[in-house]
Amino acid sequence: MIRPDLAVIADWIKSGSKVLDLGCGDGLLLSHLQQAKQVSGYGIEIDPQSVVTSIRNGVNVLQMNLETGLSGFDDHSFDTVILSQTLQATKHTESILRDMLRVGREGIVTFPNFGYWRNRLQVMRGRMPKSDAMPYEWFNTPNVHLCTLDDFETLCSLIGARVAERLVIDPQGRSVQFWPNLTGSLAIYRIQPRG
């Protein structure tokens, strides 16, 4: 069973395209894309255990630190650069997004929506939110740059990116249409350089 956001990403990726997956974890998305969409590509991962699992899963994985930049990659060398549930854990979030759109023709970004009503409710009750998408305590979370849909879209315009497509889903994996910044728990964006 593939994560709902990964299924959407697979749907958006063109067959046979060249993909770079930033923070590829165990490599399951790339492995799925290789089989379902005949993509070629590479995953980038920093964690040694995840690198081993990715290799075992038949994925080309490069152990590198996203935070030090994608300087090893030429401009427009990939069709799509994916940042799946990693954005919120990046330190240099803005420069990583800029680099994504330099290296790829487009980017796909997914992240937990901090503006989801259950999160807001928990904050209103006086506690930091915890959920399936954000299972950590405030003191041990790797998530340093959480944001809402509106926050993310503001950053996109700041860096000259255009939102080409957006899908927001609830914890059951259903697409939400109304007040997505309130009713959606997970956001999936396809972004492209403007102009």
Partner 1 sequence: MKGSRSVGEVAPSVAHFDKPLPLASGVTLEQFDLVYETYGQLNADRSNAILICHALSGTHHVAGTYAGDSRSTGWWDNMVGPGKPVDTDRFFVVGVNNLGGCNGSTGPSSIDPATGRPYGSRFPFVTVEDWVHAQARLADYLQIRRFAAVMGGSLGAMQALQWTLTYPDRVGHAIVIAAAPSLSAQNIGFNEVARQAITTDPDFHGGDYYTQGVIPERGLRLARMLGHITYLSDDAMMEKFGRELLTEAPRFSLDVEFEIESYLRHQGDKFTTRFDANTYLIMTKALDYFDPASRAGGNLSAALASAKAGFLVLSFTTDWRFSPARSREIVKALLDNSLAVSYAEIESTQGHDAFLMENEDYFAVVRAYLGRIAGEVGA
Q: Least distance from C-beta 25 to partner 1, angstroms?
A: 15
Residue 96 CB: number of other CB atoms within 10 A? 23
Contacts to partner 1 from residues 10-29, by CB under 8 A: 18
* Torsion of the alpha carbons at 165, 76, 80 and 33, rounded to the nearest 10: 160
Contacts to partner 1 from residues 52-71, by CB under 8 A: 52-56, 58-64
- Helix (H) / strand (E) element for 71: namely none
Q: Which stretch binds partner 1 (CB under 8 A): 41-49, 105-113, 146-154, 175-183?
A: 41-49
Residue 134 interacts with partner 1 (CB under 8 A)? no
175 alpha carbon, distance to own chain's centre = 17
The crossing angle, in degrees rounded to 10, of helices 149-158 and 93-103 is 60
Residue 117 phi, psi dihedral angles, 5° rounding: -60, -35
Looking at this protein, which amino acid is placed at residue 156? C
Residue 51 interacts with partner 1 (CB under 8 A)? yes
Residue 76 interacts with partner 1 (CB under 8 A)? no
Q: Which stretch binds partner 1 (CB under 8 A): 44-52, 108-116, 117-125, 135-143?
A: 44-52
Residue 73 interacts with partner 1 (CB under 8 A)? yes
Do the beta carbons of residue 129 and residue 123 sit within 8 Å?
A: yes
Residue 95 interacts with partner 1 (CB under 8 A)? no
Under rule CB under 8 A, how many of the chain's residues touch partner 1? 22
Chain positions contacting partner 1, by CB under 8 A: 18, 40, 42, 48-49, 51-56, 58-64, 72-74, 77
